[in-house]
Structure 1
Amino acid sequence: MCKYKLPESLANDIDELEASINKYKKGEMNSDELKARRVPFGVYEQRESDTYMIRIRCAAGFVTPEQLEKVIELSSQYCMDKIHLTTRQELQIHYVKLDDIVTIIRELSKAGLASRGGGGNTIRNILAPEDAGINPEERFDVSPYAIALTSRLIAENDSWTLPRKFKIAFSGSDKDKGYATISDLGFIAQIKAGQKGFRVYAAGGLGTKSRTSNLLLDFIPEKEVYNIAKTLKNLFWKHGNRKNKYAARLRFLWEKLGEKEFRNKFAEEYETVKKENYSPLEVNSFSNTSIEATFQTVKIEDKRDFELWRKRFVNSQKQRDLYSINIPVELGFIKNEKALELVNSIKPFGNNVIRITKDQNFLIRNISERYLTNFYDFLKTNQENFNRPFIYDKIISCTGASTCQLGICFSRGAAKAIIHKLSESNIALDNLYNLKINISGCPNACGQHPVADLGFFGKAGRVDGKLYPVYNIVAGAVVSESETRLAEKLGEISARDLPEFLTDFLKTYLDKAAKYKNFREYILSEGKSDVEFISGKYKNVPHFKEDKNYY
């Protein structure tokens, strides 16, 4: 099975974390010292006192049903009644008590999972498209490379002591579904003269100062993937800014050195790395084949509803007669009991059956057509909000001020208000299937608003000295090799008026959509002025005494 390997040092690292927590509890270590040790383990403090979040690495979004079951079990036993799917294809469990952190991390390691690198100045979870290996348009399956590179890098000590976080992504085609062109290091699959390889991008990323990546190398053979990653990691480790974390990502090093000097230093380091004669990655491919289940297929009575569900959530794989199924998870949170029901439904189909998507949903794969009715029947019986337009569950939001200590606005609450408002509208939401709506509670871009078709990020406004929550409006992003463009700031809207603004705007867009090839073309033509006009209708925020609901 193609899973990442836990480093041999992990058990000792967990022991050291346990020792640090014990010192903190005895008063022998302060909170900042403990933070420096727990955050690289993916353990973040939440707003509620003495509660923490643990982020679990799932390279390329891959997790086996048994691993997912273990996470659900731990969440039920120690945390809350939900698990969370992240935009980096990871799992999170929330409201963990300090005394339970090490126990949970040890139990995760028994299942082949690690939280190490879930936060801090480390090699973060490596991305690949959730449909890698089954997408008819891909050049080849990139997910085994993401997993193999994970195994190699998390075994190296310097992967935990970088100047800042380091994010890597793989994509299988020019459509860049893995976000290689907005990462610190990105690989896009190529085939040259019959040889598998990659085009390499570097020094991009999202945050308060987002940047698209730069083309670094037009082609490298597949055997050079590790050497390239090692080279850029070394370059970052040696020359990155360790004094100012707000200007420490690799993209700031590119800007500081300038393109010519960055390329020169990269070339020098690359020659040094090649002389070390590191072995290429051990890439083990996935077998995307069907497994015959022992249960009988289900007959569907409401064929019209089944066909609507199939149109919304089911896609053909490149493997003949196999299909993938999108499993919506509203805002990435799924109740433990519902997640466990899902696990039990997919176990008969083997280990290579589920991925976590970047829009915080699940993707089931390798399902024969005859079992689609079984999944339809199961989901209709067990899933909340069954068979509603997929746009509801593709809305992305960070956790916001409800749990995040950096959050300015309650972005998840805003997303829920948007979902409620859309459900009351008469908008043809199925016609917005591919529209990306992203919400961040602050400028840090954890909700990935810079790559949204329509995005929002929080800030504070003021009327007569009273603060109220406001969202900047951004729009028009494109992520595709050679065409990647970040969303442009077009206006602002109060949090109170956000759902009404969005509903008005989407109605306007759909009235005009037939004239345009895509949403970005609309934004560049009429969309900007439409955003300005519609948001302008809500620009007058009442005083606190007139309507305290705005504050």
Structure 2
Amino acid sequence: MYRYDDFDAAFVAERNAQFRQQVARRIDGSLTEDEFKPLRLMNGLYLQLHAYMLRVAIPYGTLRSAQMRQLAYIAERWDKGYGHFTTRQNIQYNWPTLADVPDMLDALAEVEMHAIQTSGNTIRNVTADHFAGAAADEIADPRPVAEMIRQWSTDHPEFQFLPRKFKIAITGSPNDRAVTKAHDIGLRMVEQDGQPGFEVIVGGGLGRTPMIGKVIRDFLPREDLLPYLEAIVSVWNLLGRRDNKFKARIKITVHEHGIDAIRELVEARFNELRPAFTGEDQEILAQIEAAFAPPIFEDRPADTFDAAYHTDPVFRAWVDSNVSEHRAPGYAIAQISLKAHGATPGDASAEQMRVMADLAERYGHDQLRISHEQNVVLPHVHRADLPAVHAALKAHGLATANIGKISDIIACPGMDYCALATARSIPIAQQIATRFEDLKTEHEIGDLKIKISGCINACGHHHVGHIGILGLDRAGVENYQITLGGDHTETAALGQRTGPGFSADEIVPAIERIVDAYLDNRESDDERFIDTFRRLGMEPFKHALYDETGKARADAA
């Protein structure tokens, strides 16, 4: 894993000291809130519905146990004892007081963490496949490249005041677990003539104008990556609209000009920039790669796993849902669900953070990952240790066997916290999870992704959910639209709207009717919801939701 060098440490310390002075000036009235706003956003500090919120960067979702313990300490010392993990692999603290934020940032710096560029019109925290460095299908670990992009983009003098925020995601696997096609730039590692490079995707994004990204380069050699990224961002920085923030994202620029015209401009700019990159970036990348050397994997029997798997049905259910194949023989990837039935998706208490840190240190080569699906991953666990890991997780409410199931819901904070939200997200997610837990049908249903957003900004990724739910305000009443058929993977697709929305009281029964229609129409127990939808289309689901006049069926309430 990457460790700060002297430059990193000095840079973060200087930024923290600068912000401490700015906070003091805001508190004594020397700065107005309007003057303070751009300064706090540069340091990840938002003003939410009820309080300030500090968003902490977890670059490419990777943590050491000491860092997770420090996050727990910060939650207890300056917040309300918990943190919220987000779809950008960050953690948010929802209740800090302004006077405490500089101390929180200094505490983060002690473990080589910060909140820089987690907000504002800059290149945001770079996200990556949460199985990076462990996945059996991986071409190469993408995290060294993600770290190089982080270093290149941090305080980049040309890209600190972009038309809007800019998000980059990277995966090293053909199976896309990083939602690359819904980002401003998506990087998918591919091979050509035995050499790894990248398929470069631009113009993806969700929000009020959702779009799937378009391929601008089928294959880009790794040594050309930084100048090519710089070419893309600099072209958009000139073309991007600044007269209307709703039309400022690169997806709109690509849509308005066309991918061919954008490609031509980017290639021309790339040819100008390429000679300036004389190889120093590749030397830096080589140094970074050394820090991401894989751990030394042990060769030992897994008798304890075999015995537990065949005798303990609770453990077996957890393994079947939450454990994935590892590239190293004898190892597994263990996902920790932060979606206990009825809990707030993505929340973890300080105690739970410490438990996960302890497990990583003892059984996981001191590594943790945060997924964009708001869960935590132990990427390197020997199969012999899985029973002990499961027992510890179970004792602390972290062993819910639901990864990829209907209760593993992505949900934004919604109107419980966010000043932009128009409806609640968390209670709807809790009610859906609880309902299907009561029905005991979750494992019968199988793989089904529900994603919920509390406003049109789509922080809950509802557009790419198999079932997407968008909460809106209709004349002062919460109303929930449903989309079906979304997909965040390498076969990315935007969901289709079913029809009129549902009230807060109607939405859970409506989801139940959609699921019943799926179960009635699937060809086999192995046919996933998304495959049934693609085979049959919208009609059977619309029929389950609406009567002949297009109104919600009375028995859906």
- When normalised by structure 1's length, the TM-score is 0.90
Q: Aligned pair in 2 of structure 1 residues 390, 234: CA closer, same or farther (>3 Å)?
A: closer
| TM alignment of 1:82-481, pairs within 5 A | 82-278=82-278, 279-281=280-282, 282=285, 283-284=288-289, 285-290=292-297, 303-330=312-339, 331-349=345-363, 352-383=366-397, 386-387=400-401, 391=405, 393-427=407-441, 429-462=442-475, 467-481=476-490
For residues 517 and 423 of structure 1, the distance between their equivalents in structure 2, rounded to whole angstroms, comes to 21
Q: Aligned pair in 2 of structure 1 residues 219, 325: CA closer, same or farther (>3 Å)?
A: same
1:523 aligns with 2:533: yes
| Alignment deviations for residues 463-516 of structure 1 (CA, whole Å, 9 cap, x no partner) | xxxx311111111123344x4221111122112111111122212212222269
Q: For residue 95 of structure 2, give the secondary structure of its aligned residue in structure 1.
A: strand
Matched residue type, 1:200:
V
Shift of 1:443: 1.0
Kept in 1: contact 2:468–2:482 (CA 8 A): yes
Structure 2 residue corresponding to 1:499, chosen from 508, 532, 555: 508
Structure 2 residue corresponding to 1:513, chosen from 522, 536, 547: 522
Worse-matched range after superposition: 256-265 or 467-476:
256-265
For residues 148 and 137 of structure 1, the distance between their equivalents in structure 2, rounded to whole angstroms, comes to 23
Kept in 1: contact 2:330–2:383 (CA 8 A): yes
2:492 is aligned to 484
Kept in 1: contact 2:414–2:455 (CA 8 A): yes
Q: For residue 41 of structure 1, give the secondary structure of its aligned residue in structure 2.
A: coil
Kept in 1: contact 2:204–2:212 (CA 8 A): yes
Runs of 5+ unmatched residues, structure 2: 340-344
Shift of 1:4: 6.9
For residues 518 and 20 of structure 1, the distance between their equivalents in structure 2, rounded to whole angstroms, comes to 53
For residues 174 and 11 of structure 2, the distance between their equivalents in structure 1, rounded to whole angstroms, comes to 38
Shift of 1:17: 2.3
Matched residue type, 1:536:
Y
For residues 211 and 187 of structure 1, the distance between their equivalents in structure 2, rounded to whole angstroms, comes to 16
Worse-matched range after superposition: 21-30 or 263-272:
21-30
Kept in 1: contact 2:200–2:215 (CA 8 A): yes
Q: Aligned pair in 2 of structure 1 residues 260, 381: CA closer, same or farther (>3 Å)?
A: closer
Q: Aligned pair in 2 of structure 1 residues 227, 445: CA closer, same or farther (>3 Å)?
A: same
| Alignment deviations for residues 227-266 of structure 1 (CA, whole Å, 9 cap, x no partner) | 1222222222233222321111111121233333322221
1:545 is aligned to none
| Alignment deviations for residues 396-432 of structure 1 (CA, whole Å, 9 cap, x no partner) | 10000110000011111111111121122242x1144
Q: Aligned pair in 2 of structure 1 residues 39, 111: CA closer, same or farther (>3 Å)?
A: same
1:45 aligns with 2:47: yes
1:546 is aligned to none
Q: Aligned pair in 2 of structure 1 residues 368, 391: CA closer, same or farther (>3 Å)?
A: same
Q: For residue 520 of structure 1, give the secondary structure of its aligned residue in structure 2.
A: helix
Shift of 1:392: 5.2
Matched residue type, 1:359:
E
Runs of 5+ unmatched residues, structure 1: 543-549
| Alignment deviations for residues 6-37 of structure 1 (CA, whole Å, 9 cap, x no partner) | 47533333333223222222222221221111
How many pairs does the alignment contain?
Answer: 533
Q: For residue 95 of structure 1, give the secondary structure of its aligned residue in structure 2.
A: coil
Matched residue type, 2:46:
Y
Kept in 2: contact 1:459–1:470 (CA 8 A): yes
Kept in 2: contact 1:399–1:441 (CA 8 A): yes
Matched residue type, 1:81:
G
Kept in 2: contact 1:493–1:539 (CA 8 A): no
For residues 474 and 367 of structure 1, the distance between their equivalents in structure 2, rounded to whole angstroms, comes to 37
Kept in 2: contact 1:494–1:541 (CA 8 A): no
Worse-matched range after superposition: 430-439 or 154-163:
154-163
Q: For residue 394 of structure 1, give the secondary structure of its aligned residue in structure 2.
A: coil
Q: For residue 486 of structure 1, give the secondary structure of its aligned residue in structure 2.
A: coil
Kept in 1: contact 2:546–2:553 (CA 8 A): no
Kept in 2: contact 1:59–1:89 (CA 8 A): yes
2:545 is aligned to 535
Kept in 2: contact 1:328–1:390 (CA 8 A): no
Q: For residue 209 of structure 1, give the secondary structure of its aligned residue in structure 2.
A: coil
Q: For residue 127 of structure 2, give the secondary structure of its aligned residue in structure 1.
A: coil
Shift of 1:395: 0.5
Matched residue type, 1:484:
A
For residues 4 and 160 of structure 2, the distance between their equivalents in structure 1, rounded to whole angstroms, comes to 17
Matched residue type, 2:153:
L
Q: For residue 138 of structure 1, give the secondary structure of its aligned residue in structure 2.
A: coil
Q: Sequence identity, in percent?
A: 23
Kept in 1: contact 2:404–2:448 (CA 8 A): no
2:23 is aligned to 21
Matched residue type, 1:478:
D
The alignment yields a C-alpha RMSD, in angstroms, of 2.6
Shift of 1:384: 5.2
| Alignment deviations for residues 289-334 of structure 1 (CA, whole Å, 9 cap, x no partner) | 43699xx979859523322222122222011111111111020001
Shift of 1:192: 1.1
Shift of 1:540: 6.4
Worse-matched range after superposition: 71-80 or 8-17:
8-17
